[in-house]
Amino acid sequence: MDERLLPIWRHVIARNPGEPEFHQAVREVLETIGPVLSKRPEFARQKIIERICEPERQIIFRVPWEDDSGEVQINRGFRVEFNSALGPYKGGLRFHPSVNLSIIKFLGFEQIFKNALTGLPIGGAKGGADFDPKGRSDREIMRFCQSFMIELYRHIGEYTDVPAGDIGVGSREIGYLFGQYKRLTNRYESGVLTGKGLSYGGALVRKEATGYGLVFFLREMLKARGESLKRKTCVVSGSGNVAIYAIEKAQQLGAQVVACSDSGGYVYDPDGIDMAALKEIKEVQRKRISEYAKLRPKAKYHPGGNIWEVPCQIALPCATQNELNARDAATLIKNGCIAVAEGANMPTTPEAVRTLMAARIAFGPGKAANAGGVATSALEMQQNACRDAWSFEFTEQRLAAIMENIHRQVHQTSEEYGASGDYVTGANIAAFIKVAEPMVAMGLI
């Protein structure tokens, strides 16, 4: 790390104790942006980095609700509004038992830079709750979402903060959240949430956007190396929203996706993952990935198995943070992997990133590679603002163009800063400059 950044880094650790994921996300950015300070001394003078590392606002609240048996449950809700230099705060809500302030802050911090890379007018935020939706009935999910919104509604708005989904939050949850917001505010404010259902202001392609965008970005990474997705064996971790549509687009572009997973294990299907079976189990029935093997005679479920041991040329981690470690990276390299692109946020540990990059494997960091989801959320906001609805084809073209543009920016920036093909450095520097410039222009706020 640049010695000018070391004191800032130490200060971040000291004033945010016990937040390892947040430290990890900040460190990754600080390790790469040193060269900008020499070219742009005003950023240091204005303490832009110190300001970016401190959220503009953090909200933590109690979420009481009653389960189907009449028992009172208490969860903790969060919304960290990190940075609004580029537009209203924007970022997903995560419902998962592991959620805590560190995780929400790492996600919110990443979101600032990711959103900047999209080139669209959105600031960075993240939120969620330590609520576990697994095994909960529809009515319980609804009651939880309604209670969550009773506090959240006062902090959000189409010009203030626009939440969306993340782990455990999809269009069902967004529907309940939107309904409660509408009731509490007496406003049909479509642009307050994204990822809405198509029948009440949602946008086509938002559901597919993160996974599709990831594969569009991957296609550019491969093209830069004279490669393509055609006939490449691919492994995708997770089997949620991002994973499903990454698999779909990778298959459309000619790759053979042979494995996907959930937190219980992975399935291997030598004939390639069958999209109809996958969607039926995960989207319709909301069941575990183990059920997939029951529908496909040649598929095998590996309970507790490590998906990165499945030989592949392309690996797409699409489940959660720190799911791919240095040992997994070494396994991927040994098996002939040529590219890793992050569909999840921070799924690759810092040691694993170093291992992959040292082996000259094309590595696409999440803040660039998975930006298609939030970019399409911004397109949903555009459509809501002018009460319009675009076609699937038009929106997908916009998404593809945005991902190509992100790739171009990140690649060019990596070259400009003498790190050609290092997408981590390219993404961090390009995004940092986009956020720092308006912060300088707006003065000390």
Which positions are catalytic? 126
Report in angstroms how near the CB of residue 320 gets to ligand 2IT at its nearest.
11
Strands laid side by side in the 161-164 sheet:
57-66, 72-83, 124-129, 89-95, 161-164
Among 147, 239, 331, 384, binds ligand NDP (CB under 6 A): 239
90 binds ligand 2IT (CB under 6 A): yes
Residue 428 near residue 415, CB atoms below 8 Å = no
Our CB check for ligand 2IT shows the closer of 233 and 241 to be 241
- CA 46 to chain CA centroid, nearest Å: 29
Q: Enter the tokens of residue 203.
A: 């946008």
Among 19, 130, 140, 166, binds ligand NDP (CB under 6 A): 166
118 binds ligand NDP (CB under 6 A): no
Which range of residues in 40-48, 85-93, 177-185, 395-403 is near ligand 2IT by CB under 6 A?
85-93
Our CB check for ligand NDP shows the closer of 226 and 304 to be 304
Nearest Cα residue to 106 out of 133, 82, 131: 82
167 binds ligand NDP (CB under 6 A): yes
Our CB check for ligand 2IT shows the closer of 77 and 92 to be 92
At residue 90, the 3 state secondary structure works out as strand
CA-to-CA separations, 364 to 218, 355, 358, 367, 423, in angstroms, rounded: 7, 14, 14, 9, 6
Nearest Cα residue to 203 out of 388, 406, 434: 388
Nearest Cα residue to 288 out of 321, 323, 239: 239
Among 102, 233, 331, 345, binds ligand 2IT (CB under 6 A): 345
Among 80, 319, 399, 424, binds ligand NDP (CB under 6 A): 319
Our CB check for ligand 2IT shows the closer of 194 and 414 to be 194
Q: 58 φ, ψ to 5°?
A: -130, 130
Taking the C-alpha atoms of residue 433 and residue 149, their distance in angstroms, rounded to an integer, is 34
Which range of residues in 42-50, 304-312, 341-349, 384-392 is near ligand NDP by CB under 6 A?
341-349
Which range of residues in 33-41, 56-64, 256-264, 325-333 is near ligand NDP by CB under 6 A?
256-264
Nearest Cα residue to 78 out of 169, 188, 187: 169
Taking the C-alpha atoms of residue 69 and residue 85, their distance in angstroms, rounded to an integer, is 46
Report in angstroms how near the CB of residue 152 gets to ligand 2IT at its nearest.
14
Taking the C-alpha atoms of residue 31 and residue 9, their distance in angstroms, rounded to an integer, is 9
384 binds ligand 2IT (CB under 6 A): no
Among 373, 379, 384, 425, binds ligand NDP (CB under 6 A): 373
Using CB under 6 A, list all residues that contact ligand 2IT. Answer: 90-92, 111, 114, 164, 166, 194, 345, 373-374, 377
Footprint of ligand NDP (CB under 6 A): 96, 98, 165-168, 210, 238-243, 262-264, 318-320, 343-345, 370, 373
